[in-house]
Amino acid sequence: MGPVARLALAARHGFRRIVPDPFVVAVLLAVVVLVAAMLRGTPPVAALDAFAGTGLWRLLAFAMQMALMLLFGGALATAPPVARALARLAAVPRTPRGLVALVAGTSAALGVLNWSLGLVGGALLARAAGVRARREGFSLHYPILCAAGYVGLSVWHGGLSGSAPLKAASLADQREVLGARLADAVGAVPVEATLLSPMNLWITGGLVLLAPFAFAAMVPAHDPAPAPCPRTAVPAPEPATDPPARGLLDRLEDAAVLSAVLALLFLAGFARRVAAGGLDLDTVILGLWAAALVAHRRPSRFLRACDENVRSCTGVLVQFPIYAGIMGVMAASGLSQALSDVVASVGREAFLPAVFASAALLNLFVPSGGGQWAVQGPIVLAAGERLAVDPAHAVLAVAYGDQWTNMLQPFWALPLLAITGIRARDLVGLSAVWMLFAGLWILAGLSIWGP
């Protein structure tokens, strides 16, 4: 057994003993942040108002978006044509290591295109790969497939949907985040200098290529505790059957033409949104909705699939407001700024690694790329201006830190956990091993390009 596989086994067993349920993590983080805010001098009533008065409700639209993405993504996955396509893709590799590498590489590639595509696509492929592993009798620990399917969230911020680079590319958005004086001093940072720069192509492209090899190396030749796709968590999808129509009204309510008309309207809207502004979260949801309607054909099948998948939205609906409250307390108490201000005290040579580290730590408490950029962007770019650091490099260092600790933060894992049926404690140890390799690669890239 190789050293990477031994490390993965040790992390798997170790983290299973110490990682609680994501809901427990959210509550503990809320308590820690509230206490820290009061220790910094924030009055208890002000901290409570920032948490439960206004904070809890800041991500309601986002929570609804994530719930719909889970609902329609799950409905799409259970449609017989999609289930067969995923099964065919999962059938390509001939070995357990090849299967894990396929899931990791696909998730990473999709994550670069769009973070939500990487999250849902990686989870769906991991589930299909788990079904194949169970059928073939592979000696393979199912959660390693799920960890491989989560890789997209460790590369997304350097990809085409990266919040910080896209926000920094517009002078109007810069002024909104940084204020007029600093925004005019820094100027807009075009994507050619961030997402399409040699530094990002090297770092993000390298992560995409590294992920399949790293995860393949994590698979032991003979797993002492294989768990290939638990039947209770991930049943093989079965074709839906329809009750016989009893009359004209029944036939109309379940007519395939109704799904077709709605799907055509959604697809037309999807095409216009992509042409106007590329992929965003709403556009991805619209595409998933249309695809699920087409794949199930009849309204009754589509609604039945949604009904079966609606339970997967529980974690999102319950926990996203708690993290929104945490974000509110972090901003109102100055904790976010205090953490980011540490960056300004380091020298020019250590600036980028310090930005990366502070962004990684802040992401544990503010697990939103756009929200984190709003909090950290002004401090980082102001400090970078004083130290004469390329603002594009500073933006990317924030992006890399934000995505890196997603491998430890259960906030973004909730959709994957719901789709795959595993627990956070089964995932985090394995994703932490990948996080180690990814962190070394990112730090090496930041060192090569320098400030």
Rounded Cα gap, residues 271 and 381, in angstroms: 36
Count CB-CB contacts under 10 A for residue 334: 14
Rounded Cα gap, residues 228 and 316, in angstroms: 26
Cβ–Cβ < 8 Å for 422, 143: yes
Sequential DSSP letters for 169-208: T-HHHHHHHH-HHHHHHH----TTTTTTSHHHHHHHHHHH
- Quick check: 243 pLDDT over 70? no
Of 95-104, 123-132, 204-213, least confident by mean pLDDT is 123-132
Cβ–Cβ < 8 Å for 406, 362: no
Q: What's the pTM? A: 0.77
pLDDT digits (tens, 9 = 90+) for 77-112: 778 888 788 888 989 999 999 999 999 999 999 889
pLDDT digits (tens, 9 = 90+) for 347-370: 788 889 999 998 898 788 777 777
pLDDT digits (tens, 9 = 90+) for 262-284: 999 999 999 998 888 665 667 87
Rounded Cα gap, residues 415 and 312, in angstroms: 7
Helices (H), 367-423: 369-386, 391-404, 410-420
What single-letter DSSP state applies at residue 238?
-
Residue of higher predicted confidence among 192 and 254: 192
Backbone dihedral angles phi then psi of residue 141, each to the nearest 5 degrees: -75, 110
Q: Residue 239: what pLDDT?
A: 47
- Quick check: 416 pLDDT over 80? yes
Half-sphere exposure of 310 (CA within 13 A, CB side): 6
Q: Residue 269: what pLDDT?
A: 93
- Quick check: 9 pLDDT over 80? no
Return left, alpha or beta for 394; rule: phi > 0 is left, psi -120 to 50 is alpha, else beta.
alpha
Q: Residue 98: what pLDDT?
A: 94
Mean pLDDT computed over 190-215? 94
Which residue ranges make up each domain of the chain?
3-230+251-449
Cβ–Cβ < 8 Å for 77, 127: yes
Cβ–Cβ < 8 Å for 75, 302: yes
Listed in sequence order, the residues at least 6 apart from 269 whose beta carbon sits closer than 8 Å to its beta carbon are 286
289 closest CA partner among 422, 120, 112: 120
Q: Residue 235: what pLDDT?
A: 43
Mean pLDDT computed over 434-450? 92
* Confidence grade of residue 15 (pLDDT, cut at 50, 70, 90): low
Rounded Cα gap, residues 152 and 159, in angstroms: 10
What mean pLDDT, rounded, does the chain reach?
83
Give the sign of the dihedral formed by CA 305, CA 311, CA 316, CA 318: positive
- Quick check: 14 pLDDT over 80? no
* Residue 336, CA distances (Å) to 7, 199, 238, 332, 378 in order: 34, 27, 48, 9, 11
Helices (H), 187-298: 198-217, 248-253, 256-277, 281-296
